[in-house]
Chain A
Amino acid sequence: MSQYEGTLKREFFGGEIWVLRTKAGQAYQLQGKIPAVLEDQQVKVQGSASHAAFGIAMVGPIIDVEQIEPA
């Protein structure tokens, strides 16, 4: 389990996806239940790299989200 921090963005690549963009410029695709109210906010995410690491969005590593909260 790791912790990530950044801005939560709703993006569209072959459908809607949730992306965490860090200050360092890294993007993570988030998988799991994401509260829409946190869109565009700074958030802290706890999660781990997904076993299903390949996908259609291809924005960055895929994270299985355990917990997400405002930073």
Chain B
Amino acid sequence: MRRLSTVLILAICATVLWSMRPRGVRSAAEEISPTVTEHQEGVLVLDLMDDLSPNEVAALGSALGMDLELSTPFSADEGLYRTKVPDLAVAEKAAEASPLVESAEPVRQFQILGYPDDPMYDKQWNMEMINAPTGWRAGGGRGVKVAVIDTGVSRVEDLQGIRIGAGATFVPATKTPADDHGHGTHVAGTIAQATNNGLGVVGVAPKVTIMPYKALSAQGFGSSDWIAAAIDHAVDNGADVINLSLGGPYSEVLDKAAREATDKGVVVVAAAGNSGQRGVGSPAGAEDVIGVAAVGPKDTRAPYSTYGKGVDIAAPGGDTQNHGSDGGILQDTIDGRGGHVYQAFQGTSMATPHVAGAAAVLVGMGLDAEATRDTLLSSAVDKGTAGWDEEFGYGRLDLGAAVTQTLVRRNGLQFAVGGLMALGLAILASLKPSRTIPMVGTAALTAGGLFFLPLLPVPPNAVMDLLSRDLLTWPALLNADLAHFPLWVSALLPVGLAFIFGPHRHLGPLAAGVAVGFGTALLYGAAAGTVDVWFLGLGLDKLWLGVNGTLCILAAMSVVGLQKLNHDGAMA
């Protein structure tokens, strides 16, 4: 048994290490460059005292022998400068010795092991602001369908390779949901742009399937019934998330369609508006729709962003009025002449797909719509007055924090509880360590997976995504809805395994571990309300999860009893 456990552990370690290998040599320069570093060699960032004049900065640079340049075009107020140095340690010490330097440290490299390799990624301040890389490592929305209801979506150069499913058009005199404006393709790019493809820019959730719906004309206008029809169609065709980078006056038709979508377990995200005044209209103002305000590159409210009741969260929408194109949200879109162009747009239209992409990542991790909404809002970086306020809602989107919160509070807790519950059972039955250790390990891994993997600074990949999940959410890798299929979120698999392998000397403890782990995840789903079960509502899903979770634990107890009786008991 010890040999089997050792082989199992070695196999898992080897798989994890293999999954973390650097991939895809893109250029000769990259091939010979050092890759295993989180800190960029030779670049130091200095936080200077805030009130220094340009002359004082220049004099300081001369004194330190450093060529100081602003970290970003927006860093002057914060006094953030960067410089290339031959020896980081020496330069850091010298800089920190100056009374004009508040702190100095090597630049934290946002790119990890050369990932992503999209050449314009360094212009996407918005992705760093929301900590998008953590979302990529947590599945990037794999198995999730996101409907983009807009001016249509066209597969421009940088959208090659992403999944674009069937859609529809609701605009008279158009036959396909192809984009004839540019707005919808830009929005779809922020959600799902092909990432690490050596081209252009990145997206928040590049593994999703985009469902393109055209409900706005080539001029960017549409009526409430076109949009409502598109929402209904998207819901009927399995959308998990709906992005509405559009808005207008109050409309009962539109708000009703949005409410019906949220009632059916779809996350609906909508733009708050660009009036710069108080008063959020439809559909952002509808109940349970996530209304999105915008922040600019300095993480302050964008001047055009509509505020008031109905704003739930803020996200990067850009501010080209005050910061030029560097302050906009950059994406690939159509150029109107049959080609494509990378353009920086601004607006709550641009903020909304950041939230939709983030929602897709969480849905892909197995959260239902309500838990996704709660997690996004509770993990947001609080801005403005404490708690909810009119300008930022509950704060600015932080996908990294949302993923971490889900991994730690759900998977981490399940890992610990599953392991402890299995240990308790083993102690109660006085099982030998050779059976206890594999049972506890299997229970913990089944309940929580190697949940910490997405938090490691490594490039995302499918193997890591699989291993970091609890067993209950594995089917979500194929299709987010499968993780809520009643026969899967039941005791069927664990009881079946217990029945078949329970009496076996070596496989029995593993089957018991699976039963405890799976049961733990089901019971957590019942208690926290994070798992919707198909066909069941009105609290029946919690009852289903609770009963099946309990059956799993009972199955594990039976196996432990058998193990004691057949093996440990006989040897005692």
Residue from B246, B306, B345, B347 within 8 A of A54 (CB atoms): B246
B424: interface (CB < 8 Å): no
CB B558 to nearest CB in A, in angstroms, measures 59
Residue from A13, A14, A25, A58 within 8 A of B248 (CB atoms): A58
A14 touches B221 (CB 8 A): no
A62 touches B221 (CB 8 A): yes
B277 touches A55 (CB 8 A): no
Give complex CA distance A54, B216 in Å: 8
A58 touches B274 (CB 8 A): yes
The chain A residue with its CB closest to the CB of B317 is A13
B217 touches A59 (CB 8 A): no
B220 touches A57 (CB 8 A): yes
Majority-rule SS of A interface residues = loop
The chain B residue with its CB closest to the CB of A60 is B275
CB A30 to nearest CB in B, in angstroms, measures 11
A12 touches B227 (CB 8 A): no
Contact with B along A9-38 (1 / 0, CB 8 A): 000111101000000010100010000000
Contact with A along B249-262 (1 / 0, CB 8 A): 10100100000000
Give complex CA distance A12, B318 in Å: 12
B304 touches A55 (CB 8 A): no
A52 touches B182 (CB 8 A): no
Residue from B183, B217, B273 within 8 A of A14 (CB atoms): B183
B348: interface (CB < 8 Å): yes
Contact with B along A29-71 (1 / 0, CB 8 A): 0010000000000000000001111111111111000000000
B245: interface (CB < 8 Å): yes
B449: interface (CB < 8 Å): no
The chain A residue with its CB closest to the CB of B187 is A14
CB B290 to nearest CB in A, in angstroms, measures 16
Give complex CA distance A31, B248 in Å: 15
The chain B residue with its CB closest to the CB of A54 is B248
B150: interface (CB < 8 Å): yes
With A15-B182, A60-B275 given, is the CB distance from A55 to B220 under 8 Å? yes
CB B25 to nearest CB in A, in angstroms, measures 38
B306 touches A58 (CB 8 A): yes
The chain B residue with its CB closest to the CB of A64 is B221
The chain A residue with its CB closest to the CB of B221 is A52
With A13-B304, A14-B350, A15-B181 given, is the CB distance from A54 to B277 under 8 Å? no
Give complex CA distance A17, B227 in Å: 21
B33: interface (CB < 8 Å): no
Contact with A along B269-310 (1 / 0, CB 8 A): 001011111000110000000000000000000001010000
A61 touches B249 (CB 8 A): yes
Interface centre among B183, B217, B248, by most chain A C-beta atoms within 10 angstroms, is B248
Give complex CA distance A14, B185 in Å: 11
The chain A residue with its CB closest to the CB of B273 is A58
A13 touches B274 (CB 8 A): yes
B347 touches A50 (CB 8 A): no
Residue from A13, A27, A55 within 8 A of B221 (CB atoms): A55
Give complex CA distance A51, B223 in Å: 7
B222 touches A58 (CB 8 A): no
Q: How many residues of B contact A (CB 8 A)?
A: 39
Question: With a CB–CB cut-off of 8 A, which chain B residues contact A31?
Answer: 219, 221
In the complex, the number of residue pairs spanning A and B with C-beta atoms less than 8 Å apart equals 92
With A25-B277, A54-B224 given, is the CB distance from A13 to B249 under 8 Å? no
Q: How many residues of A contact B (CB 8 A)?
A: 21
Contact with A along B225-245 (1 / 0, CB 8 A): 001000000000000000001
Give complex CA distance A27, B277 in Å: 10
Residue from B223, B276, B281, B349 within 8 A of A56 (CB atoms): B349
The chain B residue with its CB closest to the CB of A62 is B221
A54 touches B221 (CB 8 A): yes
Give complex CA distance A31, B306 in Å: 21
Question: With a CB–CB cut-off of 8 A, which chain B residues contact A12?
Answer: 320, 345-346
With A13-B304, A14-B183, A50-B221 given, is the CB distance from A56 to B216 under 8 Å? yes
Question: With a CB–CB cut-off of 8 A, which chain A residues contact B275?
Answer: 27, 58-60
Question: With a CB–CB cut-off of 8 A, which chain B residues contact A50?
Answer: 221
Give complex CA distance A5, B423 in Å: 77
The chain B residue with its CB closest to the CB of A50 is B221
Question: With a CB–CB cut-off of 8 A, which chain A residues contact B217?
Answer: 52
CB B130 to nearest CB in A, in angstroms, measures 20
Question: With a CB–CB cut-off of 8 A, which chain A residues contact B246?
Answer: 54-56, 58
Residue from A13, A51, A52, A54 within 8 A of B346 (CB atoms): A13
Interface centre among B181, B217, B222, B347, by most chain A C-beta atoms within 10 angstroms, is B347
The chain B residue with its CB closest to the CB of A56 is B220
B151: interface (CB < 8 Å): yes
CB B246 to nearest CB in A, in angstroms, measures 6
With A58-B247, A59-B275, A61-B249 given, is the CB distance from A15 to B183 under 8 Å? yes
Give complex CA distance A55, B349 in Å: 10
Give complex CA distance A15, B183 in Å: 7
Residue from B219, B224, B245 within 8 A of A53 (CB atoms): B224
Interface centre among A51, A52, A57, A58, by most chain B C-beta atoms within 10 angstroms, is A58
Give complex CA distance A14, B345 in Å: 5
A-B contact pairs, 17 of them (CB 8 A): A13-B346, A13-B349, A14-B220, A14-B245, A14-B347, A25-B277, A52-B222, A53-B223, A54-B216, A54-B247, A55-B216, A55-B220, A56-B349, A58-B271, A58-B274, A58-B281, A62-B221
**Besides the contacts A27-B275, A58-B348, what 7 more A-B pairs have beta carbons closer than 8 Å?**
A12-B345, A51-B223, A55-B216, A56-B181, A56-B349, A58-B248, A58-B271
**10 A-B pairs closest in CB distance:** A54-B248, A52-B221, A58-B273, A14-B183, A13-B347, A56-B220, A58-B247, A55-B221, A58-B274, A53-B248
Please give the residue numbers on chain B whose beta carbons come within 8 Å of chain A beta carbons, in ascending order: 150-151, 181-183, 186, 216-217, 219-224, 227, 245-249, 251, 254, 271, 273-277, 281-282, 304, 306, 320, 345-350
